[in-house]
A and B are shown apart, each in its own frame.
Chain A
Amino acid sequence: MLIITYTNIKQLCYGTYIFQATSDVSLSRYCDTSVENLLFSCLHRQKGGEKCCSHAETFSCSLVCQSYHTYNSTNKREEKDILFKHCHGNNEKVYRCVQRQSRSTRASNPADKIPCCDRDTTPQCRDRCRDILKTSTGDDSSIIEDVIAACGQPDVRLPLWQCFLKTPAAKRNETPLVTGLDSAKLQCCSKAKTSRCRDLCTWTYNSDFVQHSKEFYQSCSYIQPVSMLEASMHNCLTDVEEPCQLGCKGLDFCSNFNYRPTQLFRSCNSQADKAARDAVKAWEKGTISLPQMTIPVRDIRQCKPEVWKAIACALQIKPCLKKPSPLSLCMEDCIYILSECVDKNRLSGHKTVPQLCNALPSKQEDGACISLSQYLSNNDIGKDNEVTSPCHPNPCGKREVCQVRRRKCKHLEDCKPYICKEGCMLGQMSTFLVPRGVYVRIPDKVHGTQPNEQCYKACHCSHRNKIENCKQLPCFTDKHCVIGPKHRKGGGTHFTIDKTLCACHDGHMICSKNNCKSPMVGATTSIISDMPGNCPAHYKPVCAKNGKTYPNFCLAKCAGFDENDVVQGSCSSQDPCSNEACGAGQRCVARRQVCLSYIDNNCNQFECVSESMTCNPHYHDSVCDDTGEEFTNACILFSHERTLAYRGHCMSGCSNTGEVCGHNGETYPSQCAAMADRTTVDYLGECRALGNLTGRSHCSNVKCQPLKPKHCKGLIPPGGCCPVCAAELHALFDPSQVESATRVMNEGPLTVTTVLNELSNQLTIAECDIFGYLSSEGGLVILVSTIVDQPTNLQLEACNSEAQRLEHLIRTGSPLLQSYLTLTPLLVAPVRKVTIDPSHSINESPSLNPSVLILLTTFLVLIFKQRVS
């Protein structure tokens, strides 16, 4: 005889499952079949464990496998990852077996199928079916028999039986439904202005491309008829489809577009080149057919062929514009070329040339149109390989993500300048890949309760190259922000108030400067300083609990910390291991980080490293020892009995000795240590000055090092003393999104380094890299700097372009960045470009070609003539 009590089950299954169950299932159900089911699944799991774990060939795998099956942890994914780490290679069998097990042990609950009953047309069947599923205690077979008795023989054409046979979407783990057809493009749908286009866009990229794509392309495209209404959605889609890429080379027909390493193009490839050639050939027949207009022309072989070629190429190669518009040519160019070449006899409706061209943007607007004059001649400044983008064209496989390698290889032989990483596609129709291991943010199909509500889920690109383990993120709306009486700003916009950049997100204002106006501790009311919050301009650093050093307590208070949250002295002077936080057999090692959020006080500045000799080789947290050798993690380094020099990858081309002060106001033991932490060096020696806040420098006791190269003018980033030769983005981020991302990832707090590392992956040029820090005033300072020893003007210019590209992607909320969960908090990032002192620059600017001069003069004359008439 068997007597099974709950205690037995609890003992058997270690309880967790059953306690969990009470929250999901109502108590009445909990007492009958569901408990049985749980028991079954628990037993099944353990039995399965015995079977699977017997395949293990190594001790560690067998141990991990057994613990996986005994304890039913809530974080299955993490456990499975650990299992994979220990049981791959020879132990692959174990992993596969566990995978199979976990798939088949889903307990089903007959009550889940109750909604199916409502699908039937006859009321008797509906009621009986519901009763059967609610009350039945028998096995599935008898349930089905009862339903058949009530509703007739199963027929797969009837909705009732179809519903019974269908697997509920939530229970499938390997379907394309997780992501939708193209989750990257799906993110653009929220930018649609009309609800019709938003719906069509969502249907097209979510589930039903076949049915809705045609209508979507026709009614929501802005090419024909020209409509600026859906421009922001269209630009977002274009950014995913044809992202702006630096440089263009290898073109045959459009050879004037070659060797332009600092310009951004959308479609520099041989197909576009061929298309341009075809377009010119078609135009030679005497008609220019553009979607916006059809223009009769004289023989273009005789009339300005080089300009026509430039037009055809510009339309196909697509140089990126600051303000994208459907009509990318300039009005001035249009007037010039048409007044020369238009066939007036065939021009219908007595149209004049200015009438044909007036829809186009003018050159006067900065970056609104492609100016043709630069493409009338060859460019050869980029012929030397000063600027390289190893991932363009893509050398990697179909399902691999290419990342630029910016540090030295461990093994010198076969060291390629790029790394191919396996990745996940964001939907089966998508061409956008994210590397394995990252968290992505994808739109959630379950729309919020309010209209205009945007809901997303955060998922993980697992080691099976699948988007899995999605968790809901809090929804947000495009609520307005109220600035003053009768003054409001729309959601998702940004604007400046009192010279301060602010962004409105989900009804909250996020500004680049802290406006703590109330008098602060230590602030002398008699002297009005220009410091934020009227703070005193003295340097007395404090270390806040987010791991950042603030120049004085008042500034820390301004950033939202109170007395309990700070300690005197800079963070680098603190010993995070002083209070023996690690247990026995573990060594405490400092691991300084600056956290963007500090919920639950978990911005730990140390890590506990096992002192035993068994380290986890799959835990990646690079450290560098004092001989310049890199180790995967601190445990491995200590097991080799080495000394830790600094955290991060080993740096080359920097000094390993001598304290330096970084632009973030933190003292580093060496230049290399600062660089490894993605911080640029401000000056040599310990940090000792307030730096440049609110435009005035407080750095009298600091001597700056000369800039490299000398002719670079440089800029002083916020809080720094000395200039740096880099382009600066001052990004605003949304703390609430930081918090939700942190919660979802469950991998400790989101740090500045995590964000910078992810941004660095987005740079395409090998010569540039990302540095940065959290500014005292709250923004994230991102520096795009060259990493070569003596950068040339071209390289500086290329890094400027990269910064420009990032700015555009952040400002427009492009899916290219927003798909990465860690980058979602970034709202807007105005760019300051580095300038090069022209007196030192080598004569590289292309001299004005005589033909261009003629073109310009004729053009001016034309305009003049028109004014007169």
Chain B
Amino acid sequence: MTVSPTVVWAAFSMALSSVVALGANIICNKIPGMAPKQRAICRSRPDAIVSIGEGAKLGLTECQYQFRFMRWNCSTLDSNDSMFGYESLGGTKEAAFIYAMTSAGVSYAITQSCGLGSLPNCGCDKDKGDGKLAPQGWKWGGCSADIKHGLRLARKFMDAREIAQNARSLMNLHNNRAGRKAVKDNMGTDCKCHGVSGSCTMKTCWTTLPPFRKIGDSLKKRYKKSKIVVPYLGRRARTAVTLILKRAKRPHRKPRRSHLVYLDKSPNYCDFDGKTGSLGTVGRKCNRTTKDTDGCDLMCCGRGYNTHQYTRTWQCNCKFHWCCYVNCNKCSERTEEYTCK
């Protein structure tokens, strides 16, 4: 029995599509909580989605660091929605911060991957290379972080889920942008001087990404000064078209691009409340001696705290002996730990 190639072709043409790459398509379809546009990006650029995921993680970790002493410690109710959207939080300041932080993290991670050469289609900033002269007279060189590409892709991906034309979606879009702007505004420039004369008039410079902590710090400041806004409704369609400041000296003032904005007042995060996304502070560690937000009085909302006593042991006074072993003593200490009731 002979088989003509065309018959075989017809039989297997269905299977062919999956030969191309194992799983990227399928995995992208299975990831929960992604908007259709986001899935399309995932399918077409599976490498970028890895960076985006890392960026989201980076943003969340930094958020947890920044809020480690606060009642809200950057945790969310629904562990499933913590992919990129944090709808369960409501339109609060905290939601504003976590959106900005995630957006900044994603921009940051994409830019970083570009510089490392682990993403196709991007690398060093092409506008700042090849000996192009800066207005100040020095040359661009080295590998400048391709921030433009990072911001563009982060915007495309992060903003893709905010399709509902309501106030909350406008708030998220604004905060996403504020997060990206924080990355852009914190970019640094490094230079290398040429020649041996001390004047350093001849130098090669490149833009660099700051440590992510710097972006976290600057967004934390923005969080403290965040603005309450109200939606401005379009006349005919009665849908939210823009956000305007609620408390402004003059009417119809738009918030600045760098500001974080929120719609609703935050709960006190003392007790569990599914509606506002508050987890409560039961079981949180606190500091007995301070009057700060991490002090037991504030953290536990006056409910009091439990004291646990335990002995901590560790290796100490280690000495290196030639060659090659290390001798250590064991030290121990009795300590106390406090958790909210």
Contacts and interface: CB of A to CB of B under 8 A. Distances in A.
A380 interface: no
Interface string A160-190: 0110111100001011110011000000000
Interface string A86-109: 000000000000000000111111
B18 A2 contact: no
A608 interface: no
Given A43-B12, A46-B5, A207-B117, A107 B19 contact: yes
A830 interface: no
A140 B20 CA distance: 10
Interface stretch (B46-54, B213-221, B322-330): B46-54
B190 A327 contact: no
A141 B145 CA distance: 37
A144 B23 contact: yes
Interface string B137-154: 101011101000000000
Contact of A157 (B20, B56, B123): B56
Contact of A275 (B3, B9, B115, B201): B201
Interface string B20-37: 111110111011100000
A156 B57 CA distance: 9
A214 B190 contact: yes
Contacts of B21: 106, 108, 167
A211 B311 CA distance: 41
Given A39-B12, A209-B142, A217-B192, A8 B3 contact: yes
Contact of A289 (B8, B9, B47, B198): B198
A223 interface: yes
Contact of B115 (A109, A162, A210, A282): A210
Most buried by B among A39, A40, A180, A279: A40
A429 interface: yes
B201 A154 contact: no
Contact of A279 (B23, B47, B116, B199): B199
B31 to A, nearest CB: 5
A274 B202 CA distance: 9
A2 B50 contact: no
B16 interface: yes
Nearest to A36: B15
B183 interface: no
A208 B112 CA distance: 9
Interface stretch (A310-318, A494-502, A777-785): A310-318
A70 to B, nearest CB: 11
Given A275-B202, A291-B198, A43 B9 contact: yes
A168 B208 CA distance: 27
Interface string A488-530: 0000000000000000000000000000000000000000000
Nearest to A177: B117
Contacts of B7: 2
Contacts of A328: 196
B201 A279 contact: yes
B27 A161 contact: yes
Contacts of A213: 142-143, 190, 192, 206
Given A2-B8, A40-B16, A144 B27 contact: yes
B123 A4 contact: no
Contacts of A711: none
A122 B320 CA distance: 36
Nearest to B20: A104
A639 interface: no
A167 B47 contact: yes
Given A2-B11, A4-B3, A141-B18, A155 B83 contact: yes
A223 B30 contact: no
A427 to B, nearest CB: 9
A143 B130 CA distance: 46
Interface in A310-350: 312, 315-316, 318, 326-328
B25 to A, nearest CB: 8
A327 B19 CA distance: 61
Given A2-B3, A279-B199, A162 B117 contact: no
A246 interface: no
A158 B31 CA distance: 12
Given A172-B120, A209-B115, A290 B30 contact: no
B19 A3 contact: no
Contacts of A41: 19
B195 interface: yes
Contacts of B141: 429, 431
Central interface residue in A242, A279, A429, by most chain B CB within 10 Å: A429
A428 B196 contact: no
A153 interface: yes
A217 B141 CA distance: 14
A156 B23 contact: no
Interface in A198-240: 207-210, 213-214, 217, 223
Contacts of B170: none
Interface in A47-72: 47
B331 interface: no
Contact of A113 (B16, B22, B47, B117): B22
Contacts of A144: 23, 26-27, 30
A110 interface: yes
A666 B300 CA distance: 98
A326 B23 CA distance: 55
A617 B7 CA distance: 41
Interface string A536-564: 00000000000000000000000000000
B83 A429 contact: no
A789 interface: no
B23 A278 contact: no
A106 B24 CA distance: 14
Contacts of B201: 274-275, 278-279
Contact of A108 (B1, B19, B28): B19
B129 interface: yes
Interface in A105-162: 105-110, 112-113, 139-141, 143-144, 148, 153-158, 161-162
Contacts of B194: 242, 267
A316 B202 contact: yes
A208 B124 CA distance: 11
B142 A139 contact: no
B197 interface: yes
B31 A155 contact: yes
Nearest to B133: A271
A40 B12 contact: yes
A104 B20 CA distance: 6
Contact of A312 (B56, B145, B197, B208): B197
A291 B196 contact: yes
B260 interface: no
B91 to A, nearest CB: 25
B131 interface: yes
Interface string B163-199: 0000000000000000000000000001010111111
Residue in A109, A177, A398 whose Cβ sees the most chain B Cβ within 10 Å? A177
B130 to A, nearest CB: 6
B30 A153 contact: yes
Contacts of A154: 27, 30-32
A141 B20 CA distance: 13
A282 B116 CA distance: 39
27 contacts: A4-B3, A37-B19, A43-B16, A106-B20, A108-B19, A108-B22, A139-B18, A140-B26, A143-B22, A144-B26, A154-B30, A156-B31, A156-B52, A161-B31, A165-B50, A166-B46, A176-B117, A181-B117, A209-B115, A210-B145, A213-B190, A272-B195, A278-B201, A291-B198, A316-B202, A326-B196, A429-B143
Interface of B: 1, 3, 5, 7-9, 11-12, 15-16, 18-24, 26-28, 30-32, 42, 46-47, 49-50, 52-54, 56-57, 83, 112, 115-118, 120, 123-124, 129-131, 137, 139, 141-143, 145, 190, 192, 194-199, 201-202, 206, 208-209
Given A290-B196, A290-B197, 11 more contacts: A36-B15, A41-B19, A107-B19, A109-B22, A164-B24, A165-B49, A165-B50, A174-B120, A177-B118, A275-B197, A429-B142
